[in-house]
Amino acid sequence: MTFADILAILPQQLVFGITLGTAYGLIAIGYTMVYGVLFMINFAHGDVFMIGAYVGWALLGMLFASHVVPMHPMIVLPLLLVGAMVMTGAIGLLLERLAYRPLYQRGATRLGPLISAVGASIFLQNAVMLIAGAREKVYMTYSVFPRTWRFAVAGINVSVLVIVIASIALLMMLGLHWLVQRTWLGRSIRAVAEDREMAAVMGIDVWRVVALTFCIGSALGGAAGVLIGFYYTQINFYMGYAAGLKAFTAAVLGGIGNVRGAMLGGLILGIVESLAVTFINPAFKDVIAFVVLILVLMFRPGGILGEALPDWKRV
């Protein structure tokens, strides 16, 4: 591959990387927010993302078959996103209530909730497999975004789908950023993350904030599931494992507990992955995240935007 070849495909790969990266960032937010308030890694989060993809798939199939609405992105996408987010938001609430809160309120060690999370992950995967079947599902992406919807900018071939995915993910991140920085709920989330006891002394209902944090993080993960479904067009019940691992890496890369870090980490990981797939070896696709994770943990365990964590907050 000559230097000219590399220059020629680099911009194209950057576009893919950014698209993928915004979706990783959206999932990573769920890991980082939950870590912020509970100091645990919610290993079931990747499966919540997977369920978002399945809800989107099911709704898309229903819309396509019933002809009640035209298959236009402006109509179809909001319906799918809202449906997936409501469902995954509710699952997030249930997970917190059934799988984690009882452990914390009985004074669990740090290991207990992690094991519970792995159990919840296995449960969700198998539930989806039993309900929807083990075979891959196909997103009818091209019924909503026709293959001809693409254009060239400065020699880069861009599809409308890619632009829409990246824009929705970015808008959601901006919305979340606004929520965290400007609303009472956001202030409460930050207060609980920084000093739970003092948050309660301010009059904040700490467990309600924890539950809402799960709900928001899960809903964003569910939305990412729909976006990734459209992007890859194929989904399966174990897709949450790899995606979850990548998003977790993104969260650690950005600095676990830091919402802006999760967005940044997602973008970087998406770009690195796209470039590595093109310029090194496509077989490395799912290995890149592991490599990045190990490198971050070795050389900058606090992540890019993370601060040095006090001992009691370390994973």
Interface pick for other proteins out of 203, 282, 308, 311 (rule CB under 8 A)? 203
* Cα(24)–Cα(287) distance, integer angstroms: 15
Interface pick for other proteins out of 122, 143, 195, 290 (rule CB under 8 A)? 195
CB 158 within 8 A of CB 150: yes
Interface pick for other proteins out of 204, 212, 216, 293 (rule CB under 8 A)? 204
Instruction: Give the x/- contact pattern for other proteins in 205-224, rule: CB under 8 A.
Output: xx------------------
Identify the bridge partners of residue 152 per DSSP, sorted by sequence position.
Answer: 157
Does position 187 bind other proteins by CB under 8 A? Answer: yes
**Strand, helix or coil for residue 122:** helix
**Strand, helix or coil for residue 154:** coil
Residue 132's contacts (CB-CB under 8 Å, 6 or more residues apart) are 54, 58, 237
Count of chain residues binding other proteins (CB under 8 A): 17
Instruction: Give the x/- contact pattern for other proteins in 147-186, rule: CB under 8 A.
Output: -------------------------------------x--
* Cα(251)–Cα(28) distance, integer angstroms: 5
CA-nearest of 242, 239, 248 to 51 is 239
Stretch that binds other proteins, among 56-64, 193-201, 267-275, 295-303 (CB under 8 A): 193-201
Interface pick for other proteins out of 191, 263, 276, 292 (rule CB under 8 A)? 191
Interacting residues with other proteins (CB under 8 A): 184, 187-188, 190-191, 194-195, 197-206
